[in-house]
Amino acid sequence: DMSNAIVAQDEMGRPFIIVRDQSTKTKSSGLDALRSHIQAARQVSDILRTSLGPRGLDKILISPDGDINITNDGATILTEMQIENEIAKLLVELSKSQDDEIGDGTTGVVILAGALLDQALKLIEMGIHPIKVANGYEKASKIISNHLDNIADEINIDKNDLSNNLLDSSDLFKAAKTSLGSKIVNKNHNQFAKMAVESVLKVADFNRNDVDFELIKLQGKLGGSISDSKTINGVCIEKDFSHPQMKKIINNAKIAILSCPFEPPKPKTKHKLEISDVDEFKNLQKYESEKFIQMIDSIKNAGANLIICQWGFDDEANSLLLANDLPAVRWVGGSDIESIAIATKGSIVSRFEDLSSDKLGHADKVYEVEFGTTRDKMIIIENNEDNSAKSSLERTHVNTVTNLIRGSNKMIVDESIRSLHDSLCVVRNLIKNNKIVYGGGSVETSCSLKIMEEADKQKGIDQYAFRAFSQALDVIPMSLAENSGYNPIEELTKLKAAQISKNSPHLGIDCLGNNNNNMKELFVIETFIGKKQQLLLATQLTRMILKINNVIVSGKDQY
Ligand code: ADP
C-alpha cells in the first residue's frame, strides 16, 4: 500500500514523493528519477497491452496463497499483481478510478497513460523541461476533448424495447454485446448482453436517467454451466425453509420481514426464573406456548403467509409454524433482509406488536430451488413484471434484479461476474448519456490526426508535446492490430491514410476479420463519457508524474 510513501510539495508547489524504506538511503532526482518512474509505468502498461481488445489475451494470476484467477479485466489484473513500485501503483489507482467512475475502459486508460509517459520521456531526453511537456499535454487534451464532441454520435434508447420484445435489435443490446466480445463469456454473449440490458432497463430511473447499481445484484453459484445463468426479478438468498415439510412454493406471498427473534420474551415475574418443581416448569411451558401462539396470531392477523426472520427459532417454534401452515426462513443476514424489504416493498419489523398488513412485503412467487448434486438450496423471491408494474407508479417494472451466474468453477464464475459488470456499466452509462464514439482504435486515430494537424499551428515547445500526444494515441490502434495478428505499423499507416482520404473518423482496426473496418457499420462503440474520462484521467496522471521531480527514499531515522 501507499502508507510508506507520501506525496509532498516543494516550495514551488511541485509535488514529489517521499518513500520511507527501512534499509536503503538513496536519493535520486532529476532525469534519472523520471526515467526510472517512466520505466516502471511502462512495465505495467506493457503487461496490459496484450490484453486489449477482442483478441486480447487473458491473464492467469496466481496469488501468494496459490489462488488462481483468469481475467481480461485491466483493473483486476493490476489489483492482483504484487506491485511494489510507487509510480506503478499510481497506474493501479488510475485503473481503479476509471473502474469506479465508468466501469469500462480500464485497460485502455493505463495503456494510454503509459504511452503518454513514454513519449514524454523522449522529449525530456532531448532537453525539454518536464513541466513544459506537461503543459503542452494539457493543451492537447483540451483540443482532443473538443474533437470528441465533434465526432460523437448518439444511439437510440427506447425504454419500451423490453416490454415490446424488441430487445434483440436495440442499440443497447448491440452495445452490451460488443463490450463482452473480449471476455470469457463471449460464447454466451447474446445471453449475457440480454441479461445486462434487461437488468438495467428494469431498475433504471428514466426521470433522472440514472441507474442505482444497488438494485442489480450479481450472485455467483458454483455448478451448472455459464448458459444456466439467468436474471431473476427479485432476490435470491442462500437459505432453505426452516422445516423440510413446509411448502416449497408460495404464490402471492405476503411476507413478514422480521428483525426480532422468534422467541417468547422472558416472563415478567417478580421472582427470578428458578424452576424448583414440576408445576413451575409446566407454568413456564404454558407461558411460552401461549406467547408463541400470540406471535403466530399477530403474523396471521397481519395477513402474512411467509416469514423471513433475521434470527433463529427453536424446534418448538418451528413445528408450531409448520402446524399453522406458515413457511419460514431463519437466519437471513442483515443485507439480505434489506434487499428483500426493498424488492418486496415491505418494511423490516423489529417488534411483533408492530406487525400489520401494510408492513408486509409482496412477491408474486417465492420458491426453493436445489442445485444439482451439491444439494445446495436457494430461495428465490420473485415478482413477475406485469403485476408489479401495475402496483408501482414510479418504477417501470421490478425494483430489484438478481443475476445468478452459474459456472463449473470459481474462476469462470468470477470472470463472468466481472464481464457482466462491465457490460452493465456500459448500458448504465448509455442510459446516463446516449452519446457514443466508435471503437476499434478509430476514435484514437481520429484524435491523433487532429492533434498532429494542430501541432503545426503551435509555436515553441507545444508543437513537440502535441506530436508526442498524437503518437501516444497511436498506441491504442497499434495494440489492437498487434493483438489481432496484424503488423501494427503497417495497419496504422493504412488506417490513417484511409481516415484522411475517406474523411471518416469511423475507420478502425478490423480485429475480428470482418473484412470491414468501419466501426459504425460494425457497431463497435464506446461510451462518450467513458472515452472522455480515459483521456482526462490518463492526462492528469501523466502530468502529475512529470511534475514529480524528486523521489527521496529515506531511512526511518532520517525521515
Ligand atoms: P478495456 O478494459 O479498456 O475496455 P478491452 O479489452 O475491453 O479493454 O478492449 C477495448 C478495446 O477493444 C477498445 O478500444 C474497443 O474499441 C476495442 N474493441 C472491442 N470490440 C472490438 C471489435 N469487435 N473490433 C474492434 N475493436 C474492438
What is the predicted ipTM? 0.98
Q: How far apart are CA 319 and CA 377, in angstroms?
A: 21
How much is the pLDDT for 158? 82
Q: How many H helices and E strands in the chain? A: 17, 19
Query: Among 541, 553, 554, which Cα is nearest to 89's?
Result: 541
365 strand-pairing partners:
251, 382
Integer Rg of the chain from CA: 30
How much is the pLDDT for 348? 96
Taking residue 217's Cβ as centre, other Cβ atoms within 10 Å add up to 19
Complete DSSP assignment for 188-245: GHHHHHHHHHHHHHHH-BTTTTB--GGGEEEEEEEBS-GGG-EEESEEEES---SSTT
Query: Among 320, 348, 317, which Cα is nearest to 333's?
Result: 348
**Where do runs of H (alpha helix) occur along 345-487?**
385-391, 410-432, 442-455, 462-483
Ligand 1 geometric centre to CA of 436 (Å): 14
Query: What single DSSP character describes residue 518?
Result: B
Reported confidence tier of residue 72, pLDDT bands at 50, 70, 90? confident
How much is the pLDDT for 264? 74
Ligand 1 geometric centre to CA of 149 (Å): 20
Angle, CA 164 vertex, CA 163 and CA 165 arms, to 5°:
90
Residues of the chain with CATH 3.50.7.10: 234-382
How much is the pLDDT for 273? 62
* pLDDT tens digit sequence for 86-106: 888 899 999 999 988 898 899
Query: Among 308, 347, 303, which Cα is nearest to 327's?
Result: 308
**C-alpha cell at position 458:** 503551435
Residues of the chain with CATH 1.10.560.10: 2-153+441-513+526-554
How much is the pLDDT for 68? 78
Average of per-residue pLDDT values in the chain: 86
Query: Among 508, 489, 511, 488, which Cα is nearest to 498's?
Result: 508
Q: Measured from the CA of 442, which atom of ligand 1 is nearest?
A: 16
Ligand 1 geometric centre to CA of 489 (Å): 19
Stated pTM of the model? 0.83
How much is the pLDDT for 489? 97
Q: How far apart are CA 271 and CA 283, in angstroms?
A: 14
Residue 304: C-alpha distances to residues 101, 296, 297, 301, 525 (Å): 42, 10, 10, 8, 49
CB-based contacts of 322: which residues, under 8 Å, 6+ apart? 243, 245, 246
Task: Indicate the CATH number for domain 234-382.
Answer: 3.50.7.10
What is the bridge-based pairing of β-strands 5-9 and 230-232?
A: unpaired
pLDDT of 61 > 80? The answer is no
Ligand 1 geometric centre to CA of 52 (Å): 6
pLDDT of 56 > 90? The answer is no
Ligand 1 geometric centre to CA of 164 (Å): 30
pLDDT of 520 > 70? The answer is yes
Reported confidence tier of residue 381, pLDDT bands at 50, 70, 90? very high
Q: Measured from the CA of 476, which atom of ligand 1 is nearest?
A: 14
Are 25 and 555 within 8 A, CB to CB? yes
> Which residue puts its alpha carbon closest to atom 27 of ligand 1?
440
In a mutational test of the pocket of ligand 1, which residue from 47, 51, 52, 482 has the highest number of ligand atoms less than 8 Å from its CB? Answer: 52
Ligand 1 geometric centre to CA of 104 (Å): 10
In a mutational test of the pocket of ligand 1, which residue from 107, 153, 446, 534 has the highest number of ligand atoms less than 8 Å from its CB? Answer: 107
List the single range of 41-45, 197-201, 365-369, 386-390 with lowest mean pLDDT: 386-390
- Write out residues with Cβ below 6 Å of ligand 1: 51-54, 56, 72, 74, 104-108, 178, 181-182, 439-441, 476, 480, 508-509, 511-512, 524, 526
Percentage of the chain with pLDDT > 70? 87
Q: Measured from the CA of 111, which atom of ligand 1 is nearest?
A: 3
- Look up cell 503542452; give the residue: 136
> Which residue puts its alpha carbon closest to atom 25 of ligand 1?
440
Identity of residue 367: Y
pLDDT of 11 > 70? The answer is no
Ligand 1 geometric centre to CA of 447 (Å): 17
> Which residue puts its alpha carbon closest to atom 20 of ligand 1?
54
Residue 285: C-alpha distances to residues 151, 271, 278, 315 (Å): 78, 17, 11, 14
Ligand 1 geometric centre to CA of 53 (Å): 4
Percentage of the chain with pLDDT > 90? 58
Ligand 1 geometric centre to CA of 425 (Å): 15
How much is the pLDDT for 26? 52
Identity of residue 63: S
Q: Measured from the CA of 526, which atom of ligand 1 is nearest?
A: 16
pLDDT of 374 > 80? The answer is no
Ligand 1 geometric centre to CA of 449 (Å): 20
How much is the pLDDT for 267? 61
Query: Among 398, 397, 359, which Cα is nearest to 381's?
Result: 398
Ligand 1 geometric centre to CA of 541 (Å): 22
Q: For the domain with range 2-153+441-513+526-554, which CATH number is right: 3.50.50.60, 3.40.50.720, 1.10.560.10, 3.40.50.300?
A: 1.10.560.10
Q: Measured from the CA of 52, which atom of ligand 1 is nearest?
A: 6
Q: Measured from the CA of 441, which atom of ligand 1 is nearest?
A: 14
Ligand 1 geometric centre to CA of 437 (Å): 12
Quick one: 86 exposed, middle or buried, by C-beta within 10 A (0-12, 13-18, 19+)? buried
Q: How far apart are CA 296 and CA 290, in angstroms?
A: 10
Q: How many CA atoms lie within 13 A of 14 on its CB side?
A: 14
* Mean pLDDT within 539-543: 95
Q: Measured from the CA of 444, which atom of ligand 1 is nearest?
A: 14
* pLDDT tens digit sequence for 217-256: 999 998 888 999 999 999 999 999 999 999 999 999 999 9
Q: Measured from the CA of 51, which atom of ligand 1 is nearest?
A: 6
pLDDT of 362 > 70? The answer is yes
* Mean pLDDT within 303-322: 91
How much is the pLDDT for 274? 66
